[in-house]
Structure 1
């Protein structure tokens, strides 16, 4: 994959946003957002069709649920590994390659009769998904130009957020009409259309690009700031998902919210997440460190409110919706920072941020599950989430301090240069 493009330079495809400084984003950014919409839909759609899958394959619900787990594992592995394996390919070709594998994986699931075969197909699909996410963030950043990079990544991330609001319910509806396999056929068809749009709209890499090497990719890992961003990614997603994974029993069994209200609360979370991702990306272009500090700070307060007010139905529903608005809204900014701090290994930085989000989820969710059988009971996940999100403040504050020191040093050097050029006075 060719990573040597300067992400602060104007995009050479001639798009309006990069060339003129206009606030309009190029069409390719929205196409990539549509791609991530499909990627996150397929990751979580199994939750909406779980009983159908289990009944058809004659397996338990727990076994059917492992189709979600294996996908998350594939995302963790796929993002960095596929980035390294495609290091010699152009970003455009990598996106197409990932979508082709995505389509093939869904066809294998749709026609599969053996559970092991379907598990393998889901894992392979997740590898492609990880690669697509990583490259999409870099392509969107380049296409948008330096002044709109975070906003562009926010649009790409919002596609994933929209999946929980629109994609998963649509997938469940399709399953009710034509069976759960029809959902995977529909996703394969939609991904084929996205691949056609990528072929048409994603520009080829600049002629002066030279393929990067694995060595140059690994050199990007020396950046201490990159690792601080990755720690923030893991802590943020882990903390939020620790609560969200168990939000239904928390709402119904602890807060006494009627089961009929739970879908509305989750929809509120999804809509809040969609809006928060867009706003976070927009603000991240001018105040990235403010976004990455304020967001986890507010989220920590919301987590604490869920822990302390868990017996109040109204407070819980309000807190869940607010958690959607703030909880993951800094993710696109963190991805953008990872791309920036990785230097020439931009795609690997993006890939590692995607992996870090999933690592945080994979680690935090079982800890939150174990907390359920602790003396804290149903309040356990909220306690775990509060601690984890609060820990995200440590790396984000450190990043802001590093930036502040660099800015101070730059101002001092500028004053010194001006003093040297000033004429001597008696």
Structure 2
């Protein structure tokens, strides 16, 4: 009988529900991108409601980008200390909280704080997304899995602004963001 030696095999574990996880990440990407670009079509009503100029309202888009860049530079280092699933779930929670704050924002400054939180989510998610996909599926499936995830990105980029305009006309800009909160909560609860 030979003594048991620890395995040095570093290959990933079998990928049981990998495609479900890829699908979840794709939905998250779509909602994240929709949340990021939705204000583009709602700047005028946001500015009017919050007593700001349209140029000031446009800064709500810029601030999320600024925070996304800053977060992307540090999140991989910080996230390496935690289970990546928990980090992604936390980032999704921050996204929902930021959208609720946007929908409820009583002032322009609160809108900017909420958009900064969304930027943290954007930077955090994108800095972890590719590595997460690469861990979820086997090496030959990585291109397909990344393609699926980026399909959510492309669809949301193309549809967010026109959908925002249409829905904003029907339910107001705050209603659009409450709708995003509701949809993300439903996806998360499924």
TM-score band w.r.t. shorter chain: 0.7 to 0.9
Superposed, which structure 2 residues align to 1:182-197 within 5 Å?
182-197=175-190
- Mapped to 1, the partners of 2:64 and 2:32 lie a distance apart of 11
Superposed, which structure 2 residues align to 1:231-310 within 5 Å?
none
TM score, norm. by length of structure 1: 0.40
User: Which residue in the other structure is 1:33 paired with?
Assistant: 26
Contact 2:102 2:174 in 1 (8 A): yes
- Mapped to 1, the partners of 2:150 and 2:73 lie a distance apart of 18
User: Which residue in the other structure is 2:58 paired with?
Assistant: 65
Contact 1:38 1:167 in 2 (8 A): no
Name which structure has the greater RCO, CA cutoff 8 Å, separation 6+: 2
User: Which residue in the other structure is 1:78 paired with?
Assistant: 71
Deviation at 1:125, TM superposition (A): 1.4
Deviation at 1:133, TM superposition (A): 2.4
Which protein shows a greater Rg?
A: 1
User: Which residue in the other structure is 2:104 paired with?
Assistant: 111
- Mapped to 2, the partners of 1:10 and 1:30 lie a distance apart of 20
User: Which residue in the other structure is 1:128 paired with?
Assistant: 121
Deviation at 1:50, TM superposition (A): 1.1
User: Which residue in the other structure is 1:244 paired with?
Assistant: none
Contact 1:86 1:94 in 2 (8 A): yes
Which one of the candidate residues 35, 38, 44 is aligned to 2:37?
44
1:90 partnered with 2:92? no
Query: For 1:89, what is the secondary structure of its paired residue?
Result: coil
Query: For 2:48, what is the secondary structure of its paired residue?
Result: helix
Deviation at 1:164, TM superposition (A): 2.1
For structure 1, which runs of at least 5 residues remain unmatched after alignment? 1-5, 16-24, 198-426
User: Which residue in the other structure is 1:168 paired with?
Assistant: 161
Deviation at 1:10, TM superposition (A): 4.3
Deviation at 1:83, TM superposition (A): 2.8
- Mapped to 1, the partners of 2:168 and 2:86 lie a distance apart of 32
- Mapped to 1, the partners of 2:189 and 2:72 lie a distance apart of 22
Contact 1:74 1:127 in 2 (8 A): yes
Query: For 2:82, what is the secondary structure of its paired residue?
Result: coil
Contact 2:100 2:177 in 1 (8 A): yes
Contact 2:36 2:118 in 1 (8 A): no
Contact 2:100 2:181 in 1 (8 A): yes
Contact 2:69 2:123 in 1 (8 A): yes
User: Which residue in the other structure is 1:157 paired with?
Assistant: 150
Aligned length, in residue pairs: 182
